[in-house]
């Protein structure tokens, strides 16, 4: 990939307008929407969005897209990584310790080997039932809204994938264990805590959670809200860096004109072969001009063609 640049792709936009990604280290007590509002005010932009909602109690990586980068959010890496503490021996209405306590049970004496065996059943593709207090839509309304009206919901299980689930520490005297989880989008660590506790026969709830990686960004790139409030403004992550996990194609001058008009292009033989087989099949392709500036994203089509999916600086 070429060196980072924060020049907006559309010359009709004011060149002073920033665009790219800001990675926040979200503090507890704020919603993701609160964080977006602060970024919007600080940078003086209306077009701001976040990738991957964090519950108010959860801290850590919250990627925020500014300007045209909001259109790139669907193409970023979807897996996320968390570190969390699970409290065994308690069930709550929200599956974390912020909810109403429903039941307490004694935690059975457990060795790490028994915990490892219990955790093993959650590794890989699983069906997971979201917490009742969640942002899942039920009949066009958020589940947490209906629950707070007094309704009791039984949400349908959904397929998720837990790629890594590692036991970091176990404290038998307090019934708390710390885990690291790498998982697909849509996975609820609160549900994992609940289901682990149910499997052990004592109940469980999430005590603390911190997201350490999301959409390809980790805490090494994150800035605090305190830093956001200071001058100069934090430097944004170049969109091309965020898309570095994808294959790319450089356009020549003739292809660039066709691309800006939304026409499909012939992919080079090597790229066409990569897109037709293996893990890169059906992956988006980052499209750059001869100078390495981002021009959009394509998908491989029939006959080795690159079909435009997102065209920046389009004509017409």
pLDDT at 148: 58
**What letter does residue 237 receive in the DSSP assignment?**
B
Distance CA 204, CA 191 (A): 9
Q: Considering the entire predicted model, what is its pTM? A: 0.88
Given pLDDT bands bounded at 50, 70 and 90, which one contains residue 46?
A: very high
Confidence of residue 13 (pLDDT cuts 50, 70, 90): very low
Q: Is 55 a catalytic residue?
A: yes
Give pLDDT, residue 142. 53
C-alpha gyration radius of the chain:
22
pLDDT grade for 316, boundaries at 50, 70 and 90: low
Distance CA 197, CA 234 (A): 42
Least confident of 10-14, 193-197, 200-204: 10-14
Domains in the chain and their CATH numbers?
20-77+216-241 (3.30.2350.10), 80-212 (3.30.2350.10), 246-311 (2.30.130.10)
Q: How far is CA 253 from CA 168, 288, 289, in A?
A: 53, 11, 8
**Which position among 55, 95, 96, 195 bears the catalytic label?**
55
Helix (H, G, I), strand (E, B) or coil at 96: strand
pLDDT in tens, 77-89: 999 999 999 999 9
pLDDT of residue 155: 73
Q: What is the pLDDT of residue 132?
A: 78
pLDDT digits over 52-71, tens only? 889 999 999 999 999 999 99
- Rounded to whole angstroms, the Cα distance separating 69 from 293 reads 14
Q: Average of pLDDT values for 123-152? A: 67
Four-CA torsion 176, 182, 187, 193, nearest 10 degrees: -10
pLDDT of 146 > 60? The answer is no
């Amino acid at each position: 990939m070429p060196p980072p640049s924060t020049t907006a792709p559309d010359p009709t936009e004011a060149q002073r307008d920033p665009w790219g990604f800001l990675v926040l280290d979200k503090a507890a007590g704020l919603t993701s929407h609160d964080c977006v509002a602060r970024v919007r005010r600080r940078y003086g932009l209306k077009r701001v969005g976040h990738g991957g909602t964090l519950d108010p109690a959860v801290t850590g990586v919250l990627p925020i897209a500014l300007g045209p980068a909001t259109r790139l959010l669907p193409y970023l890496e979807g897996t996320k990584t968390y570190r969390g503490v699970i409290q065994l021996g308690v069930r709550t209405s929200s599956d974390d310790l912020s909810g109403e306590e429903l039941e307490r049970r004694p935690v059975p004496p457990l060795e790490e080997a028994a915990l490892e065996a219990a955790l093993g059943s959650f590794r890989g593709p699983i069906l997971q039932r979201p917490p009742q207090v969640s942002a899942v839509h039920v009949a066009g309304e958020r589940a947490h809204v209906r629950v707070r009206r007094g309704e009791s919901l039984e949400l349908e299980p959904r397929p998720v994938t837990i790629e890594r689930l590692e036991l970091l520490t176990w404290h038998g005297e307090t019934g708390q264990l710390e885990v690291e989880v790498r998982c697909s989008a849509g996975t609820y660590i609160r549900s994992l805590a609940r289901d682990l506790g149910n499997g052990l026969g004592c109940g469980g709830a999430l005590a603390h959670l911190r997201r350490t990686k999301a959409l390809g960004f980790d805490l090494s790139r994150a800035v605090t809200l305190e830093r956001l409030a200071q001058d100069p403004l934090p430097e944004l992550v170049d969109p091309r860096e965020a898309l570095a996990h994808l294959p790319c194609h450089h356009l020549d001058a003739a292809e660039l004109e066709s691309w800006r008009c939304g026409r499909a292009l012939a992919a080079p033989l090597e790229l066409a072969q990569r897109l037709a087989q293996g893990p890169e099949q059906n992956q988006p392709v980052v499209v750059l001009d001869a100078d390495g500036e981002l021009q959009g994203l394509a998908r491989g089509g029939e006959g080795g063609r690159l079909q435009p999916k997102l065209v920046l600086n389009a004509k017409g």
